[in-house]
Amino acid sequence: MHIVGRFAPSPSGRMHLGNILCAMLGYLSAKSKGGDYILRIEDLDTLRCTKDNCKQVLDDLNWFGINFDDINFVKPKNVNISNINNSIYQSERTEIYKCFERFLKEKGLVYPCFCSRAELHAVSAPHLSDGRLIYTGTCKNLTEQERKQKKRKPAMRLAVPDIKISFVDGCIGECTENLKLECGDFIIKRSDGIFAYQLAVTVDDGLMGVTEVVRGHDLISSTARQIWLHELFGFKPPKFYHMPLLVAPDGRRLSKRDKDLDLGVIRQYMKPQKLIGILAYTCGLIENKEDISLDELIKIFSWDKIPNRDLILPEL
Ligand code: GLU
């Protein structure tokens, strides 16, 4: 099988080391199997994801030495789409997402949800360990009349069946989630009309022929929902690798607030080969902290070498 990996950054600020590590492992994983590595910009949140941030992300990836391949778009089997839009910017792909939303509506799987954030938190809904609420279905069985009486703009939810989604994650191993009990009906379009991450990411991974997804461990809880959407749309779900998170020497999770670890600062005093070496050492690909190129790493890359625990960044 021809492997297609992808990097899908949300350009809401400068990339930090965790983001570039994700890009690096995704690239190495695809290239070590002779595959392609493609880029998609997840800029649906146009307020935070500005054009300037986006340019910066592209420039950082270029500096780091990751070259992206052309995308071979796939024609969906189940869903009629008006045109194959080949933009890599999600903000330009709304018409495509609408076709997939329409498909779900025609199957009777989508319903409007008028609940406000406050209302969602007020009901005694079960919470998951990550703080996510399991939706209790308040708006599921509203009549047309009741819907008309609502004053606010609705979000759109996908009704999920009582089904177990199981997959073997390339880093974590066997994972299972019961969609109804552990997730509940989830939002595919927000009340402001912006398509939700879960829908957009699945449509794009499917249409862009992605066969493997490498991303941070923090996104594992989205995976069952995405696999379910892939199945509804008639796509083959990709293989997932939820890589360990990069943490500061004191165990703290890195974030966009750690300005000293963003590429704007690091690029001022470090060459890419050095940063690649530090990241490769941090995740166990090489034994010593030494300069190395991506090409050399492609030859020695294996997921078996990446530990399944937080990666502690050494002093730079
Ligand atoms: N755009 C997401 C982010 O930057 C990643 C989504 C994904 O890899 O599925 O956090």
Which is the closest atom of ligand 1 to the Cα of 215? 8
Q: Residue 121 has what pLDDT?
A: 75
Between CA 92 and CA 71 the distance in angstroms is 16
Domain boundaries, the chain: 4-107+198-243
Sequence-separated contacts (24+) of 207-210 with Cβ below 8 Å: 207/73, 207/74, 207/76, 207/84, 207/96, 208/4, 208/6, 208/38, 208/40, 208/71, 208/73, 208/74, 209/4, 209/71, 209/72, 209/73, 209/74, 210/4, 210/5, 210/6, 210/38, 210/238
Residue with tokens 């379009």: 189
Q: Is the shortest distance between the CB of 42 and ligand 1 below 6 Å? A: yes
Between CA 316 and CA 314 the distance in angstroms is 6
pLDDT digits (tens, 9 = 90+) for 166-215: 999 999 999 999 999 999 999 999 999 999 999 999 999 999 999 999 99
Between CA 137 and CA 166 the distance in angstroms is 24
Between CA 311 and CA 316 the distance in angstroms is 14
Q: Is the shortest distance between the CB of 245 and ligand 1 below 6 Å? A: no
Q: Is the shortest distance between the CB of 10 and ligand 1 below 6 Å? A: yes
Q: Residue 128 has what pLDDT?
A: 65
Q: Is the shortest distance between the CB of 272 and ligand 1 below 6 Å? A: no
Ligand 1 centre to CA of 115 (Å) is 26
Ligand 1 centre to CA of 215 (Å) is 7
Which is the closest atom of ligand 1 to the Cα of 42? 1
Q: Phi and psi at residue 7, in whole multiples of 5°?
A: -115, 130
Amino acid at 128: L
Between CA 224 and CA 180 the distance in angstroms is 11
Q: Domain 4-107+198-243: give its CATH code.
A: 3.40.50.620
Q: Is the shortest distance between the CB of 188 and ligand 1 below 6 Å? A: no
Element (H, E) at 242: strand 239-243
Q: Which pLDDT tens digits describe the chain residue by residue (316 residues)?
A: 999 999 999 999 999 999 999 999 999 999 999 999 999 999 999 889 999 999 999 999 999 999 999 999 998 988 999 777 899 999 999 999 999 999 999 999 999 999 988 778 776 666 666 667 899 899 999 999 999 999 999 999 999 999 999 999 999 999 999 999 999 999 999 999 999 999 999 999 999 999 999 999 999 999 999 999 999 999 999 999 999 999 987 888 877 677 778 899 999 999 999 999 999 999 999 999 999 999 999 999 999 999 999 999 988 8
**For a pocket test of ligand 1, which of 219, 225, 230 has the largest count of ligand atoms closer than 8 A to its C-beta?**
219
Between CA 6 and CA 120 the distance in angstroms is 34
Q: Are strands 4-7 and 36-39 parallel, antiparallel or unpaired?
A: parallel
Q: Residue 314 has what pLDDT?
A: 87
Q: Residue 258 has what pLDDT?
A: 77
**Exposure string over 7-24, b if 16+ CB within 10 A, otherwise e:** bbbbbbbbbbbbbbbbbb
Q: What Cα–Cα distance (Å) separates residue 175 from each residue in 166, 171, 292?
A: 6, 11, 34
The whole-model pTM stands at: 0.95
Between CA 147 and CA 226 the distance in angstroms is 28
